[in-house]
Structure 1
């Protein structure tokens, strides 16, 4: 018997129980979570009868449900599987249950959907390029992982401020976390010449940091250094590593870039540490996690009221709660308040300006203020992938289709494996939809679903595109998935919440109505 967390491949299908998606080839089928859970239990016990009680437990937990509920879900599975000309996939065992009898199963298949994007080598940019990989945590304490990650994040932030340097975003660099990597392969997948890697050991008030830079085209070491310092010197170490990397790439330019790498940091290391601990929950975009992050961010702000990045992250948390947890005015107002404070205190902080700009555009409905902040962020940090990706979302909802596609593509080149890829693809999907390019919209929406199957908005664009293509059964299944993930979803309220452009709201609303989503 295999583990319920395995990814299964059988025939042309791939089932990911954690994501809750059954794929046919590279495209997700529109089965709901209960049908996927049933498929997972049948695959887990392949060729062995599974009782009705066991299947009900898998799909409905402890709920008492009528037999016809199970029958309906099994029928949905059979309809999807039958399209592949297999005579039998799921066999009925009279008075007992069901059994999977389809093609041979390969379990624990790696999910290659992210790495496939970089399977062919990306062309090198026309300027020096670098990726900073996650540093190894040698502290012997897994709880210090966030600290090692935060150090790398800050080094990337410093490097990204250099205008002549192409820097891969942190989110794509961290796709390699916990993996043994071939530096040459990293260079090909991310399209960079140089790779910086290292390790961190934190013990009490002492730090040991080792950094080394490698030329990914040859595998040759370009620079290496060890730093033994006190914890209070952390920002100085980060700057020295960034400047050493710059100096190794272009020695003649090093002095001119010293002041650009250095920037305002929080005065309190305690506030900095709290913000580092909050970051993974902020990035999740899920209401439960961002609520937890807000507790840490509010403590950081209490210690240091002018901490711009803490305000920017708090704005993003409240934005998430506003759109995904009830459209409450208090969350919208808090998002705007923290965004304004991030702009006030973060004139030299690209990340803070990016998050603030997003909140101003999406929650304050002030797109002029949003792009003033985003363009200021890009002036500070031209390699900021998140700025382009979040900007593409604002442009998409604002009806500026071609610019939205351009910004999303630029963001994805700077961060090919970005966890925010779903937002870039979502911007592309709505923009192609607005221009009547429904096949392109559908392809982009499928990519958005694959990148983040737990986010309801990814299925909204898919439902609309499928409806316009006349694939109404699939459109309605996508719409059902929206409501499964976000039962309170109403497209009229969503459009009002993000100040959707009138032309987009009209055409998108018609398609979503056809797909069966409530207004």
Structure 2
């Protein structure tokens, strides 16, 4: 089969050689196997092609699952904009196979199109287990000639002031070189960022659009004039890299260049691509040598560079399994190149992240990171990422040495200085995020939010940054803002690995969320064998305890070698709450308030504990410390109520009622009821439940029961990572305790909890012996 032949399929031009399909508006890349399926259908256009024929042709001598063909066809349809139910291109023959129903036309090859054979016989070939991409890393640098001389007309300078570099596509047959294609895009971003006149979109923002090719939409999102994308393709021992620039105004291609490889090193390859791009952009072009020296002055063993790229790729996934892989890859890189500064800093970052995303202690992470940080500082003392990593690791050290008790200590001041020095050299989103972690430990709320917002401004499409800010907002008592921010992250990254667990930090439990959590637990059982992520294990334990699945929770607890202090507190709160030992709970909350006297959530929890022990004056004092503007409750008007504070204001109103200020309390409760009926709160279930509490306190029993029934039907559940009482012992629903209908709702709630608990146990009983 001749892969250089192109075909016209409807409005699309099919190019098997580059695995792309193009029309006047869009270009889509599809993976190699899907292109082979499409090409086979093209060659048998109008014929009935059986699944067996396609498997024999595309996956010959390979064992694959039956649904892999359906997935391949689905990808083709998506790229073509085809509809399986009303097909324009590919018609499904149930139980048989497929037919290509659109007309196909062969296209003549341009006279100028030619491929240049390259002799790789003299090139060093590494261990074949590394994969075909190693040939590229060791063998390639690009000579800057055009394969198609028609492209010479595009060499004219491009007048742009901003650009985004999208992740390059991996068009190799094995489809396993993403670490290299991402690394190539990273290198171009780093080189172009040295041009002060050119705004270059950050990696985390531009990489959000992996696989998407609507230039106009991407340009509007990133606010850039142009997009740069490309592809890497290996054909035997040949390597071809295509680079293109598109206008985001109309989607037109402004420039393209195709490079073939010759016997030079990978760093020259990256520099040459960047130079070609820089020469094309209509700015006051400055030669590379005056922009700054190349990022790597010493030539690095290509094998070591590939290991480094794989380490970079995996630590950025930020989960226990990928971080473990990153350690291995960086260690392999350093075994070949002991003086490789970037690999040292990558390994230091990875060890640091094992505290945040796995079960390593702060001390263990710091001790393992320190030698690599010191080496990186010796090799690159003025590197922004090295200084930022120093600040991040000193933050860990301050945690276990001083507990941040002394904000003016030399250690903390050194961490401050490292972050500020890094930001002075490079206003980087990751550095702002890491600095915010130090500021959070010091209780500097305004600066935390400032640096988090700076990070998001630099990377507006980063889902991880929005998840981090969401979690922080919830921790300081801004639940509605947290949920809205989390939703923005979810839109950007709907398939995030640990979404069902991360969401528990900002959302209450529901029947749906518990079911999703059990399914995720079952699908990722290896994480819980030894609790490689303490955070994941802690959140699952609290969720399972919320529905009474004590045995399942205990099985996870048995595998936890480490536990965070706040989690231990939560377990104690649940234990004391089940026994009705409210005074013990109050003691825990008082100690928390001493440690974090200005934290809104801590103060609210303290007020709840004081209220539940009938210490109403103390509860009022705590609430006024939380909200000083409520000292004059009669001045609180409807416009002063917001979605972040309404729950706190309900407690304050009922506290005033307990202290004999019933008229003021009732006025506040009526205003709160009016506010909630405006339906501006993000969490509709909690809003409905709060209406039940308000009406119970106002003596409107029928309305209270109606709202409660609605909330329960919507999926309301106890949520033990933020409270310690059950529905039956809810302090604001006490006026309903003797109501027959409340007792009936309570019985029905328990029955549904039993059903949900049984469902969870069945789901988890098959994943390992520890769950039996």
Query: 1:445 Cα shift?
Result: 5.5
Asked if structure 2 preserves the Cα contact closer than 8 Å seen for 1:408 and 1:427, the reply is no
Change (3 A) 1:358 1:159: farther
SS of 1:301's partner is helix
Change (3 A) 1:459 1:201: closer
Query: 1:251 Cα shift?
Result: 3.4
| Alignment-derived partner of residue 220 in structure 2 | 188
Correspondent of 1:394 among 411, 414, 438: 438
| Alignment-derived partner of residue 473 in structure 2 | 429
Asked if structure 1 preserves the Cα contact closer than 8 Å seen for 2:463 and 2:490, the reply is no
1:306 and 1:494 mapped to 2: Cα distance? 43
Change (3 A) 1:195 1:482: farther
Asked if structure 1 preserves the Cα contact closer than 8 Å seen for 2:180 and 2:309, the reply is yes
| Alignment-derived partner of residue 205 in structure 2 | 172
Query: 1:196 Cα shift?
Result: 0.8
Query: 1:389 Cα shift?
Result: 2.8
Correspondent of 2:334 among 291, 301, 304: 301
Question: Are 1:333 and 2:367 an aligned pair?
Answer: yes
| Alignment-derived partner of residue 460 in structure 2 | 416
Q: For 1:333-387, what per-residue CA distance to the aligned partner results, in whole angstroms no more than 9, with x for missing partners?
A: 11333333333323354444434432332345544444444444444444x3322
Query: 1:457 Cα shift?
Result: 8.8
Correspondent of 2:350 among 292, 317, 339: 317
1:494 and 1:449 mapped to 2: Cα distance? 29
**Between Structure 1 and Structure 2, how many residues are aligned?**
378
Question: Are 1:405 and 2:466 an aligned pair?
Answer: no
Question: Are 1:235 and 2:328 an aligned pair?
Answer: no
Query: 1:404 Cα shift?
Result: 2.2
Asked if structure 2 preserves the Cα contact closer than 8 Å seen for 1:196 and 1:213, the reply is yes
Change (3 A) 1:232 1:217: same
Question: Are 1:359 and 2:393 an aligned pair?
Answer: yes
Query: 1:187 Cα shift?
Result: 0.4
Change (3 A) 1:426 1:257: farther
Question: Are 1:284 and 2:317 an aligned pair?
Answer: yes
Query: 1:134 Cα shift?
Result: 1.5
1:512 and 1:231 mapped to 2: Cα distance? 66
| Alignment-derived partner of residue 209 in structure 1 | 241
Question: Are 1:440 and 2:473 an aligned pair?
Answer: no
Residue segments in structure 1 that go unaligned for 5+ positions in a row: 1-109, 111-126, 496-500
Query: 1:300 Cα shift?
Result: 1.1
SS of 2:261's partner is strand
Change (3 A) 1:453 1:293: closer
| Alignment-derived partner of residue 640 in structure 2 | none
Correspondent of 1:346 among 376, 380, 393: 380
What's the TM-score once normalised by structure 2's chain length? 0.43
What's the TM-score once normalised by structure 1's chain length? 0.61
1:216 and 1:324 mapped to 2: Cα distance? 38
Change (3 A) 1:290 1:220: same
Change (3 A) 1:289 1:358: same
Query: 1:188 Cα shift?
Result: 0.7
| Alignment-derived partner of residue 230 in structure 2 | 198
Q: For 1:164-222, what per-residue CA distance to the aligned partner results, in whole angstroms no more than 9, with x for missing partners?
A: 3322222222222233x111111011121121111223467754322122221243443
Residue segments in structure 2 that go unaligned for 5+ positions in a row: 1-77, 79-159, 400-410, 518-535, 545-555, 570-593, 609-718, 725-772
Instruction: Give the greater-gyration-radius structure (CA).
Output: 2
Asked if structure 1 preserves the Cα contact closer than 8 Å seen for 2:167 and 2:207, the reply is yes
Query: 1:407 Cα shift?
Result: 2.1
1:377 and 1:138 mapped to 2: Cα distance? 37
1:411 and 1:165 mapped to 2: Cα distance? 19
Correspondent of 1:248 among 280, 283, 305: 280
2:330 and 2:450 mapped to 1: Cα distance? 33
Correspondent of 1:385 among 419, 429, 445: 429
Query: 1:270 Cα shift?
Result: 1.7
Q: For 1:456-504, what per-residue CA distance to the aligned partner results, in whole angstroms no more than 9, with x for missing partners?
A: 99557537xx89xxx9xx9xx9985474699554344899xxxxx9537
Q: For 1:256-305, what per-residue CA distance to the aligned partner results, in whole angstroms no more than 9, with x for missing partners?
A: 77433722266222211101122232112222221122111111122222
1:143 and 1:351 mapped to 2: Cα distance? 28
SS of 1:252's partner is coil
SS of 1:302's partner is helix
Change (3 A) 1:446 1:176: closer
Correspondent of 2:564 among 469, 478, 490: 490
Change (3 A) 1:325 1:427: closer
Asked if structure 1 preserves the Cα contact closer than 8 Å seen for 2:597 and 2:603, the reply is no
Change (3 A) 1:438 1:517: closer
Change (3 A) 1:232 1:133: same
Of stretches 204-213 and 407-416 in structure 1, the one that deviates more from structure 2 is 204-213
Question: Are 1:264 and 2:296 an aligned pair?
Answer: yes
Greater relative contact order: 1 or 2 (C-alpha under 8 angstroms, separation 6 or more)? Answer: 1
SS of 2:296's partner is coil
1:308 and 1:386 mapped to 2: Cα distance? 19
